[in-house]
Chain A
């Protein structure tokens, strides 16, 4: 069974600081990788996803993530955070066999951006 580890439970940054959130997964095969964001009072939204190809993927709102297969990692980055990025961020993995497979989520990282 796959598992996901998010190393930071709570990250506090000032506006314009750079962000990197760690995500490591364990799974003995090919996976699809996702980052979801949950803004206060809102539903989970997809930030970006990796299925194959270029390991550097760009998502919405200036976020990007790099898949490093040798490290089983899929870290999320943003060069300059804004106050509106305050939210909870979840990394998730799924075997690539279509939609008929469950997402496995990490425990999440709460990001607080101070104005």
Chain B
């Protein structure tokens, strides 16, 4: 049973460019959350997707957008990249259906984004 997977592992972009990060949730999970982890900080919530809609959003500008597909996988898009967007981007999945671990989020390995 594969856990949460993310691609790519690492990415280098320049200021002003756009980037797309991808996430496949753990088998049986239908909800995907995205977090940004800056160096030396804890993860910060960006947004959450369920039933292909953004259900909750943290304090991030609308340069950050996302999408969820019918197979529950998800993308995070960041436009007009800034130096400050350099961080580890984490995807976490959870389930609204499974009684066990109902409140638990499982994390992927992350995508390390460097903006030059």
Contact = CB atoms under 8 A, between A and B. Distances in A.
Interface of A: 4, 6, 32, 34, 36, 42-46, 49, 51, 90, 92, 94, 96, 98-108
B104 to A, nearest CB: 7
User: Helix, strand, loop or mixed for chain A's interface?
Assistant: loop
- Of B43, B45, B106, the most chain A CB neighbours within 10 A belong to B43
Contact of A99 (B4, B105, B109): B105
Give the interface size bracket for B toward A. 20 to 34
A105 B36 CA distance: 11
A102 B42 contact: no
Contact of B96 (A46, A100, A103): A100
Contact of B104 (A49, A102, A104, A105): A49
Contacts of B90: 43-44
Contacts of A98: 96, 102-103
B66 interface: no
5 contacts: A96-B103, A98-B96, A98-B102, A99-B103, A100-B55
